[in-house]
Structure 1
Amino acid sequence: MREQRWFRIAVLAVALFAVNVVARLVIRFSSDDAGSGTQGLASIVMFAVIAVVLGALTFVRSQRERPSVWLPDIGLGALGGMALTVLVGPFVSGRGPFANGAGDFFAQIWLYAACAIAGTVIGYWIAVILGRDYRSKALKAYTEARKVRPRRVVGR
């Protein structure tokens, strides 16, 4: 079951949702009525952790697989995590998804998407810069194979 593609996507979505649940519980239990500073700090930390998790996962997966394999997995996992965060997450805080209005709802979607994309891109860029991504390794292996093979002499 662990080798199935949907399992990895679901685990990523649940892990990203768990980060959100922890942040919402910290906000709920540690802040008072005028605790907007705690709420803002917890939200920033939550989005930073989401970006770091996606960046680290992208860095690791881009070393072993082609982007056509890992990018849909990470994208769908992040999309699932965002859906859970936006639609189910507010119930952890004791409110509904649209309790603060549609503006806050869509702002959270845009902020989540921006952090997810930024984390994924930075993780991939780091792998490319270090020459550890799948394509760089394939090109290096091809170059090494061409050096080892002797040059073919054409007889006339």
Structure 2
Amino acid sequence: MRQRWVSIAVLAAALFAINVVARLVIRFAFTDDSDAESRVSIGMFAVIGIVLATLAFRRCQRVPLATWLPDLAAAAGLGMLLTILIGPFASGDYPFSGGAGNFFSQIWLYAGFSIVGTLLGYWIATTLGRDYRSRSLKAYSQRQVSKPRRIVRR
């Protein structure tokens, strides 16, 4: 159980680190260019989605969906809270300095990219037949074919 929380915390910290790097790039390289700031922000959300897609793809091959999905969702939720509440301090702002619209748009963007990234990773693994359930069903069908048929006597 402890290892499970450690992996959740490490993933949340990695997602938060992606946000901090993006905020520092915006702070030092694009101070007055709002278009570049938007592109870097969208790029940050895309990187977060790609990281979650990669993890979903890898984890769904080893363990059932009910085991890895809550962990990934908890890590993404914790990463989102860190990004929204603590992340603005890295760029010299406060969490609500951009107004409520900016605050809630960050929540929606983070949630959207996280959900789409996770689904994309899982769907790719399922399409390729590499997810846990597909592999279990394949092993079951091969086992059933290899067993000789029992003759029923009356």
In the alignment, structure 1 residue 42 sits paired with structure 2 residue 40: yes
- Tell me how far 1:102 sits from its aligned partner: 1.0
Equivalent in the alignment of 2:139: 141
Q: Distance in 2 between matches of 1:74 and 1:92?
A: 25
Q: Of the candidates 56, 62, 71, which is equivalent to residue 73 of structure 1?
A: 71
- 1:53-88 deviations in Å (ceiling 9; x for gaps): 000000000000001100000000000000000000
Question: May I ask how many residue pairs the two structures share in their alignment?
Answer: 154
- Tell me how far 1:32 sits from its aligned partner: 3.2
Query: Percent identity among equivalent residues?
Result: 59
* Aligned residue type for 2:38: G
Q: Distance in 2 between matches of 1:100 and 1:37?
A: 16
Q: Distance in 2 between matches of 1:32 and 1:23?
A: 12
- 1:92-114 deviations in Å (ceiling 9; x for gaps): 01010000111110110011000
2:39 is paired with a residue of what secondary structure?
helix
Length-normalised TM-score, structure 2 = 0.98
Q: Distance in 2 between matches of 1:31 and 1:125?
A: 36
Q: Distance in 1 between matches of 2:31 and 2:68?
A: 42
Equivalent in the alignment of 2:95: 97
Equivalent in the alignment of 2:20: 21
Give 5+ residue unaligned stretches, structure 1: none
Equivalent in the alignment of 1:60: 58
2:152 is paired with a residue of what secondary structure?
coil
Equivalent in the alignment of 2:151: 153
* Aligned residue type for 1:32: T
Q: Distance in 2 between matches of 1:146 and 1:100?
A: 61
Give 5+ residue unaligned stretches, structure 2: none
- Tell me how far 1:41 sits from its aligned partner: 1.1
Length-normalised TM-score, structure 1 = 0.96
Q: Distance in 1 between matches of 2:149 and 2:19?
A: 59
2:121 is paired with a residue of what secondary structure?
helix
1:132 is paired with a residue of what secondary structure?
coil
* Aligned residue type for 2:81: A
1:95 is paired with a residue of what secondary structure?
coil
Give runs of aligned pairs for residues 104-123 of structure 1, distance below 5 A: 104-123=102-121
Equivalent in the alignment of 1:31: 30
Q: Give RMSD over aligned pairs.
A: 1.1
Q: Distance in 1 between matches of 2:17 and 2:43?
A: 13
Q: Distance in 1 between matches of 2:89 and 2:41?
A: 16
* Aligned residue type for 1:16: L
